[in-house]
Structure 1
Amino acid sequence: MKQRMIRGLVSLSLVGLALSGCGTPAKDQAGAGTNANTGAPAAAPKGEPTQLVISTWGFSDDFFKKEVYAPFEKEHNVKIVLDTGNNADRLNKVRQGTSNVDLIYLSDYYAQQGIEAGVFEKIDRSRIQNLNDIYDIAKAPLGEDYGPAYTIGQLGIAYNPKALGGKDLTSWKDLWSPELAKKLTMPNITGTTGPMVLDAASLVSGSAQFNADQAFAKLKELNKSVVKYYGQTSEFVNMFAQGEIAAGPIMEMYVKDLKAAVPETKFITPAEGGYAVMNTVNVVKGSKNKQLAEDFINYHLSKEVQEKIAKAKVDSPVNTKLQLSGDDTKGITYGADTVSKLRKLDMKFVNQNLKGWIDRFNKEVAQ
């Protein structure tokens, strides 16, 4: 447990990216490609649409159908079919072979489980040209054989300064401040961000490398201040809006919901660094549309698509050619300086140890 949990502060590249095209069914793929000048997808032969099954969460469904899926379908004579649900349920379907999914979107934690279960195809990076033009941390978060992160958010701390008597928070260690007693919520250890908070507790304990014993001791010390360990972000938002809590770790993308309820809400990247929250996309093993799936990944990484998504506040971009300013940068994790300072967990290490951490958390912390 003394091995280093963090791979270090993430580095990034500041290269641009261009929109590439999509493939077609095997019998038509010989002529598929991209426009060399614009990077736009080349038109596919017309006829019966190719069906591409995408497994995803289903949030912002109307936006994705209109702004992302529809243009791809029209340009390439493709019919996109969605299989929606949470990470665990959708991954289990793929593991059990009970779905015909071609492409699956998962958080990096669950994607690592999929890799270990052997349910993903190895991608052909030569077909995904836009990989050259995204942050380094996003290119191969789980290894060169597997898919990229198409978005990078961050876990930081949101709080209501008025409810804390005007106190400003700057560090992870501020969660242990007496002003937060009985006003704090924390992610449950079973959630995506639970292991990140465990690592933050290790940092606060003074350990340069991850130390589970010290981390659990710090969390046990903090337990008396916690109103509730939340499993769904909606629980955080509701408690915050009703004044039951005044602070807690949360992903930046949800701060807009907090501010809608409590306008004075502040969000900080702690001095020690926020945590990179990455969602990935992979091709499912056995897909009959592997090239088409790879081309859709390339399309999703394009400047045009990522800009639409970022400006709609749906996801934070990994595209480094985006030049956002003003209100367009608010509520998303944006910019080289911000991303370079994020801390990234080793998801293989997390998966190896999570069961033990959950048992220990239930016994030693959440009593």
Structure 2
Amino acid sequence: MMKQTMMKSLVALSVVGLTLTGCGTAPADNQGAASNAGTSTPAQTGKPTELVISTWGFSDDFFQKDVYAPFEKEHNVKIVLEVGNNADRLNKVKQGSSKVDLIYLSDYYAQQGIEEGLFEKIDRTRIPNLNDIYDIAKAPLGEDYGPAYTIGRLGIAYNPKETNKEIKSWSDLWSPDLAGKLTMPSITSTTGPMMLDAASVVAGSKTFNEDQAFAKMKDLNKGVVKYYSKTSEFVNMFAQGEIAAGPIMEMYMKDLGEAVPEAKFVSPTEGAYAIMNTVNIVKGSKNKELAEDFINWHLSKEVQEKSAKAKVDSPVNTTLQLSGADVEGITYGADVVNKLRKLDMTFVNQGLKAWIDRWDKEITQ
């Protein structure tokens, strides 16, 4: 959408059988991963191969049962996890202090890994399920690197009983009605730069304008209760009535709804922001082909559908159809995906240090 700006509007995706989800029920023939693996490596006998995966560690019970165990059985593999947040896990790989084969990161942190030369180039011919996912998810950071296995969205959550108004756009966050009831993400969080971009949009700029963005954020600052770094902080403040509105990822609406049944999620009229989590192969991995098989498995209809129905991840596989309660709380369907806004992560990484310094001086001083 913009040249050399923070924003690239998502290009309309010409996909048939739309769905941001992806996974059918396990095949009756009990072939499991093999039925979706395409060019999968045959299972071997003897001692299992160890595949080390760096990930966040959330929904561990689901992943152990529905993602890791079937793959381990099919490929004679023992999956070992290294868990933690994006920054800590990426730093371990930078320092060479782990034996990670595969690493799951948000696109923001994955771009840093690419710029540091930490990832192998993938062989896309070994990942046939790439053909079944949304175009935007196939190569979010370039053809040489891993896909996004999920796309979520950053929008606005609010309690209509406390805001005294219906929220429809990013500009509504600047309403006097929300002063003292609002939380915003920290600039150092994954979604912080998105809100800086949203401020530029609200200021009326068609391309990212740093000065206008900071001026709008400074104006908003007096009504912000707290800048949150962890989503759990948002959920706790919302549940306790300390805040009534703020930007949040849609996947957390289940937690908000349990605490505040009236809670609503809004995709702003200017467009919600795409949240993409990626998977990449770490440079030097001795299990590159096995890692590619695992990526292919995670993109399969079987895994993606189970993940969507369990509300673990919004899927990217387009070969399934969901409806009713299955689509609640997930980012689903081309009509939703086509409207998302995506940051240029190269641009973000180039400007972030200066933005953080300026944020500390002008906004949260």
TM over 0.5: yes
Opposite residue 346 of structure 2, the aligned amino acid is K
Look up the match of 1:81. 80
Pick aligned residue for 1:173 from 148, 161, 171? 171
CA distance in 2, matches of 1:319, 1:43: 24
Instruction: Say whether residues 1:275 and 2:273 are aligned partners.
Output: yes
Look up the match of 2:6. 5
Look up the match of 1:315. 313
Counterparts in 2 of 1:148 and 1:15: CA distance versus 1, 3 Å: farther
Residues 242-265 of structure 1 show CA distances to partners (whole Å, capped at 9, x for unaligned) of 000000000000011001000000
CA distance in 2, matches of 1:318, 1:175: 30
CA distance in 2, matches of 1:288, 1:90: 19
Alpha carbons 1:169, 1:268 under 8 Å: kept:
yes
Listed as ranges, the matches of 1:194-273 within 5 Å are 194-273=192-271
Alpha carbons 1:2, 1:212 under 8 Å: kept:
no
Instruction: Say whether residues 1:144 and 2:173 are aligned partners.
Output: no
Counterparts in 2 of 1:35 and 1:249: CA distance versus 1, 3 Å: closer
Alpha carbons 2:152, 2:251 under 8 Å: kept:
yes
Aligned positions, number: 352
Opposite residue 91 of structure 1, the aligned amino acid is L
Residues 230-280 of structure 1 show CA distances to partners (whole Å, capped at 9, x for unaligned) of 000000000000000000000000011001000000000000000000000
CA distance in 2, matches of 1:342, 1:88: 25
Alpha carbons 2:57, 2:84 under 8 Å: kept:
yes
Look up the match of 2:29. none
CA distance in 2, matches of 1:18, 1:342: 22
Alpha carbons 2:157, 2:247 under 8 Å: kept:
yes
Opposite residue 101 of structure 1, the aligned amino acid is V
Pick aligned residue for 2:298 from 282, 288, 300? 300
Alpha carbons 1:119, 1:285 under 8 Å: kept:
yes
CA distance in 2, matches of 1:75, 1:90: 28
Opposite residue 290 of structure 1, the aligned amino acid is K
Percent identity over the alignment? 77
Opposite residue 97 of structure 2, the aligned amino acid is T
Look up the match of 2:62. 63
- Compute the displacement of 1:9 (Å): 2.8
Opposite residue 246 of structure 2, the aligned amino acid is G
Listed as ranges, the matches of 1:36-185 within 5 Å are 39=38, 43-165=42-164, 167-185=165-183
Alpha carbons 2:23, 2:307 under 8 Å: kept:
no
- Compute the displacement of 1:43 (Å): 4.5
Alignment partner of 1:73: what SS?
Answer: helix
CA distance in 1, matches of 2:258, 2:35: 43
The unaligned stretches of length 5 or more in structure 2 are: 25-32
CA distance in 2, matches of 1:125, 1:42: 15
Alpha carbons 1:5, 1:199 under 8 Å: kept:
yes
Give the TM-score normalised by structure 2. 0.93
Give the TM-score normalised by structure 1. 0.93
Look up the match of 1:29. none
Look up the match of 2:344. 346
Alpha carbons 2:173, 2:246 under 8 Å: kept:
yes
- Compute the displacement of 1:4 (Å): 1.8
Look up the match of 1:326. 324
Aligned-pair RMSD on alpha carbons? 1.9
Alpha carbons 1:252, 1:333 under 8 Å: kept:
yes
Opposite residue 223 of structure 1, the aligned amino acid is N
Residues 129-176 of structure 1 show CA distances to partners (whole Å, capped at 9, x for unaligned) of 1111111110000000000000000000000000112x1100000000
- Compute the displacement of 1:300 (Å): 0.2
Look up the match of 1:27. none
Segments of 4+ moved more than 3 angstroms = 15-19, 33-36, 38-43
CA distance in 2, matches of 1:200, 1:2: 17
CA distance in 2, matches of 1:34, 1:257: 35
Alignment partner of 1:162: what SS?
Answer: helix
Alpha carbons 2:34, 2:74 under 8 Å: kept:
no
CA distance in 2, matches of 1:204, 1:181: 17
CA distance in 2, matches of 1:66, 1:115: 31
Opposite residue 87 of structure 2, the aligned amino acid is A
Opposite residue 3 of structure 1, the aligned amino acid is Q
- Compute the displacement of 1:206 (Å): 0.2
Alpha carbons 1:35, 1:41 under 8 Å: kept:
no
CA distance in 2, matches of 1:18, 1:62: 18
- Compute the displacement of 1:35 (Å): 5.6
Alpha carbons 2:72, 2:79 under 8 Å: kept:
yes
Counterparts in 2 of 1:151 and 1:68: CA distance versus 1, 3 Å: same
Counterparts in 2 of 1:198 and 1:327: CA distance versus 1, 3 Å: same
CA distance in 2, matches of 1:289, 1:194: 35
Opposite residue 9 of structure 2, the aligned amino acid is G
Look up the match of 1:22. none
- Compute the displacement of 1:44 (Å): 0.9
Residues 180-211 of structure 1 show CA distances to partners (whole Å, capped at 9, x for unaligned) of 01000000000000000000000000000000
The unaligned stretches of length 5 or more in structure 1 are: 20-32
